[in-house]
């Protein structure tokens, strides 16, 4: 018995002194990654890369520190179009490696032989023109027009196009980097960042908190920094900086509101970079440094919900991360809910309710579209994207159905209980990852607790595992938008646009107004609206987009020149797709759309380019 105790103690001490060997078991297989993370995991990546704007490649090496807890004889990495020069162990000896078959969506697995004691490998590599995760902008499409710009977009599975890694959201690692850029430019990453250029053009980065690969990010350009709050600020091209500072003035208040709701901001700094307009998304929650489209700079702070959204990801997504892309709603649904709570805190309930109602309308349309399409099962919160591009899951289901599910939970238990639950959820799972199945288990255990009545109120299974919208879908009523509804009725009954009292309209009143007008309007009505409200010339990108959709629907030619300029200048897919889709409905519209696309496509990010290509040339769809 005593010997047994001694052995047990030795075993215990041993297990404590070799913590790097013990790793939690992986929760579920990520079908979008080749990596063998059930045996070996990356713990740290150090990048040493030169940014070459001439050849449009990143070149250098990646040092991978690994934990081979499963004694694998090889580590399998995700790669896409990378060219390898050599791979060496710490002792500088060459490592054997093989690159598997290439697949258009997933890229190619890189298998590197490991020795029993291998802790570090150095991979010398360069990116190629297949790097969809990188966008190289010629000077002409930047604001300053003098210097080139580089930006990355790694979500969902594009990190592998610019660094070899275990490209799955279920695995987290820390990173550091040395990035060499042309001397006139500054580099920033999803890490501790410089705030000034240096004479050498060499920037060193450290990211002490572990992150998944899809949050790896880099931007290089003629950018400057301005501080906004104690731990927040903004990067932008010099000509944009002042406007950006004005627009984002409420950022400190948002951070405070977020912390009050769901616990401390754990990433130190929160900055935003305003990118050139070809950035294909609205925003991307790269840790410490949100990437954002300049189309949110409206001049009146009316589109900053996007910042609340990306900030909220610092909890939902970046702290507690979807394990696989099938669980994407855990990132986005939680974030839209959280965003809306931040907006309510900072701008009041009337305002956030308008946003919620607009979201509900989007969701209803999306559900209809999905149910009419090839994959009606995509209207479940939990997805099955095996064999498909994970971007297929990027719909309003994850965002809006996810958000309304959380709202239904809030309604069922009351705000206080729900907030305490969420706060605890973030705290317990911080820096970890989450599957839908684990979430279901967690909510059953910590919120529902076997209360049958409550379970029936929440309808968990209907929301998560069934298509469409459950019967406890929260009812949203907005007094503000009810007024707009009356205005629409007045207008369509023949009263002129001038009779509408729009004195208190915000961007969101306008959006609701435009979206809920009848689809068909007469030329006189379109003209009346435009003359009275100046839609064709507004500087608000969201309103412009709605107006251009209406203009295409009603062949309102006076808007077309500005629409064309918008489609060429802006690369944000959310704006491009619906306008091109509408244009493609008629032969003459399609011809115009193809012409515009020909002029614009070199400036689009491949993410946007591919989507528009599919809309305009569906027959060539792969």
The residues that are catalytic are 310, 399
Site membership for ligand BES, residue 29 (CB under 6 A): no
Residue with the shortest CB distance to ligand BES: 282
Contact characters 136-155, ligand BES, x per CB under 6 A: -------------------x
x-marked contacts with Zn ion along 301-340 as a string, rule CB under 5 A: -------------------------------x--x-----
276 binds, options ligand BES, Zn ion, none, Cβ within 5 to 8 A by partner type: none
Structure tokens at 107: 């890229």
Closer to ligand BES at the Cβ: 160 or 309? 309
Query: Is the CB of 156 or the CB of 459 nearer to ligand BES?
Result: 156
Tokens of 620: 């060539």
Our finding on whether 282 is near ligand BES (CB under 6 A) is yes
> What DSSP state is assigned to residue 93?
P
By CB under 6 A, residue 284 contacts ligand BES: yes
Cα–Cα dist 276/151, whole Å: 9
- Shorter beta-carbon distance to ligand BES: residue 201 or 280: 280
401 binds ligand BES (CB under 6 A): no
Q: Which of 46, 172, 197, 309 binds ligand BES (CB under 6 A)?
A: 309
Rounded Cα distance, 470 and 468, in Å = 7
Shortest Å distance, C-beta 42 to ligand BES: 21
Distance CA 603, CA 40 (A): 40
| Gyration radius of the chain over CA positions | 25
CB of 467 to Zn ion, least distance (A): 23
Q: Provide the 3-class DSSP secondary structure of residue 179.
A: strand
The first and second tokens of residue 144, run together, are 């300053």
Would you say 189 and 207 are in contact if contact means Cβ atoms under 8 Å apart? yes
By CB under 6 A, is residue 281 in contact with ligand BES? yes
Order of all β-strands in the sheet with 134-137? 134-137, 149-152, 218-221, 186-189
Q: Which does 307 bind (CB under 5 to 8 A by kind): ligand BES, Zn ion, none?
A: none
Question: What minimum distance in Å lies between the beta carbon of 311 and Zn ion?
Answer: 10
Burial of 172: CB neighbours in 10 Å, binned 0-12, 13-18, 19+:
buried
Q: Three-state SS string across 184-217, please?
A: CCEEEECCECCCCCCCCCEEEEEEEEEECHHHCC
Residue 160 binds what, of Zn ion, ligand BES, none (CB under 5 to 8 Å, by partner type)?
Answer: none
Whether omega before 156 lies within 30 degrees of 0, making that bond cis, reads: yes
Count the Cβ atoms, other than its own, within 10 Å of residue 549: 20
Binding mask 156-195 for ligand BES (x = CB under 6 A): x---------------------------------------
β-sheet bridge partners, residue 192: 206
Q: Which is nearer to Zn ion, 427 or 574 (CB)?
A: 574
- Per the rule left: phi > 0, alpha: psi between -120 and 50, beta: everything else, 75 is beta
Give the 3-state secondary structure of residue 292: strand
Contact 47, 177 (CB under 8 A): yes
The residue among 111 and 156 lying less far from Zn ion, judged by its C-beta, is 156
Stretch 287-306 residues interacting with ligand BES (CB under 6 A)? 306
Count of residues that interact with ligand BES, criterion CB under 6 A: 15
Structure tokens at 181: 């850029």
Q: Is 250 an interacting residue with respect to ligand BES (CB under 6 A)?
A: no
Residue 273 or 526: the one with the smaller Cβ distance to ligand BES is 273
Q: Contact region for ligand BES (CB under 6 A) — 166-174, 228-236, 308-316, 432-440?
A: 308-316
Question: Which C-beta is closer to Zn ion: that of 398 or that of 616?
Answer: 398
CA dihedral 578, 580, 586, 587 (to 10 degrees): -170
Q: Which of 237, 247, 310, 396 binds ligand BES (CB under 6 A)?
A: 310
Name the segment binding ligand BES (CB under 6 A); options: 77-85, 281-289, 535-543, 584-592: 281-289
**Interface with ligand BES, residue 313, by CB under 6 A:** yes
Our CB check for ligand BES shows the closer of 399 and 512 to be: 399
Give the other-Cβ count within 10 Å of 577's Cβ. Answer: 15
Which listed option, Zn ion, ligand BES, none, makes contact with residue 162 (CB within 5 to 8 Å by class)? Answer: none
Q: How far is the CB of 189 from ligand BES (least distance, A)?
A: 17
Nearer to ligand BES, 127 or 608 (CB): 608
Q: Does 394 bind ligand BES (CB under 6 A)?
A: yes
Sheet with 108-113, strands from edge to edge, namely 74-79, 108-113, 97-99
The yes or no reply on residue 261 touching ligand BES (CB under 6 A) is no
CA-angle at 614, arms to 609 and 620, nearest 5°: 115
Stretch 318-337 residues interacting with ligand BES (CB under 6 A): 332
Contact 327, 382 (CB under 8 A): yes
If one asks whether residue 274 binds ligand BES (CB under 6 A), the answer comes out as no
Q: What is the smallest separation between the CB atom of 564 and Zn ion, expressed in angstroms?
A: 30
3-state secondary structure 531-580: HHHCHHHCCCHHHHHHHHHHHHHCCCHHHHHHHHHHHHHCCCHHHHHHHH
Which of 336, 409 has the CB closer to Zn ion? 336
Output the smallest distance, CB 367 to ligand BES, in A.
17
Site for ligand BES in 557-586 (CB under 6 A): 574
Output phi, psi for 549, to 5 deg.
Answer: -60, -45
- Binding partner of residue 394 among Zn ion, ligand BES, none, CB cut-off 5 to 8 Å per kind: ligand BES
Paired with 57 in beta bridges are: 52
By the criterion CB under 6 A, which residues form the site for ligand BES? 155-156, 281-285, 306, 309-310, 313, 332, 394, 399, 574
List interacting residues with Zn ion (CB under 5 A).
332, 335
């Amino acid at each position: 018995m005593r010997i047994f105790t001694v052995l047990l103690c030795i075993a215990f001490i041993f297990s404590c002194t070799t913590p790097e060997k013990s790793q939690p078991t992986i929760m579920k297989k990520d079908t979008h990654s080749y990596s063998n993370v059930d045996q070996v995991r990356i713990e740290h990546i150090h990048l040493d890369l030169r940014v070459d704007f001439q050849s449009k490649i990143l070149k250098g090496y990646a040092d991978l520190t690994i934990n081979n807890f499963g004694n694998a004889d090889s580590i399998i990495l995700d790669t896409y179009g990378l060219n390898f020069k050599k791979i060496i162990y710490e002792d500088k000896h060459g490592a054997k490696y093989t690159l598997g078959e290439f697949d258009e969506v997933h890229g190619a697995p890189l298998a590197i032989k490991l020795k029993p004691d291998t802790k570090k490998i150095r991979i010398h590599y360069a990116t190629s023109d297949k790097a969809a995760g990188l966008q190289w902008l010629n000077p002409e499409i930047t604001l300053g027009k003098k210097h080139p710009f580089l930006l990355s977009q790694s979500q969902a599975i594009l990190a592998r196009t610019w660094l070899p890694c275990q490209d799955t959201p279920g695995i987290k690692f820390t990173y550091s980097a040395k990035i060499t850029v042309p001397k006139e430019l500054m580099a920033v990453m999803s890490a501790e960042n410089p705030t000034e250029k240096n004479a050498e053009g060499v920037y060193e980065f450290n990211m002490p908190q572990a992150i998944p690969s899809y949050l790896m990010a880099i931007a290089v350009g003629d950018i400057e920094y301005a501080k906004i709050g104690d731990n927040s600020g903004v990067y932008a091209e010099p000509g944009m900086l002042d406007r950006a500072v004005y627009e984002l003035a409420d950022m400190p208040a948002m951070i405070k509101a977020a912390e009050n709701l769901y616990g401390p901001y754990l990433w130190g700094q929160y900055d935003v970079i305003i990118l050139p307009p070809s950035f294909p998304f609205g925003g991307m929650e790269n840790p410490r440094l949100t990437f954002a489209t300049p189309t949110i700079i409206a001049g009146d702070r009316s589109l900053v919900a996007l910042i609340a959204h990306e900030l909220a990801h610092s909890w939902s997504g970046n702290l507690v991360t979807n394990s696989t892309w099938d669980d994407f709603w855990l990132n986005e649904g939680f974030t839209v809910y959280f965003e809306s709570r931040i907006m309510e805190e900072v701008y009041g309930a009337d305002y956030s309710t308008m946003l919620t109602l607009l979201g509900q309308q989007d969701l209803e349309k999306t559900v209809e579209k999905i149910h009419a399409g090839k994959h009606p099962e995509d209207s479940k919160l939990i997805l099955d994207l095996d064999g498909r591009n994970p971007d297929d899951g990027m719909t309003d289901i994850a965002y809006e159905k996810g958000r309304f599910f959380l709202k239904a939970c809030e309604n069922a238990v009351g705000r206080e209980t729900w907030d305490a639950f969420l706060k605890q959820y973030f705290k317990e799972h911080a820096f970890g990852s989450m599957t839908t199945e684990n979430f279901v288990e967690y909510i059953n255990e910590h919120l529902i607790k076997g209360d049958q009545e409550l379970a029936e109120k929440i309808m968990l299974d209907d929301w998560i595992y069934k298509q469409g919208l459950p019967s406890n879908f929260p009812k949203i009523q907005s007094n503000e938008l009810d007024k707009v509804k009356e205005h629409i009725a007045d207008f369509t009954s023949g009263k002129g646009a001038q009779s509408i009292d729009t004195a208190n309209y915000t961007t969101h009143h306008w959006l609701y107004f435009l979206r809920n007008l009848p689809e068909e309007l007469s030329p006189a009505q379109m003209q009346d609206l435009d003359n009275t409200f100046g839609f064709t010339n507004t500087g608000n990108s969201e309103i412009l987009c709605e107006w251009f959709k209406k203009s295409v629907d009603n062949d309102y030619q006076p808007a077309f020149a500005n629409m064309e300029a918008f489609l060429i200048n802006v690369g944000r897919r959310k704006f491009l797709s619906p306008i091109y889709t509408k244009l493609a409905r008629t032969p003459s519209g399609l011809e115009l759309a193809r012409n515009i696309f020909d002029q614009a496509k070199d400036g689009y990010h491949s993410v946007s380019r591919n989507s528009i290509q599919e809309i305009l040339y569906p027959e060539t769809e792969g």
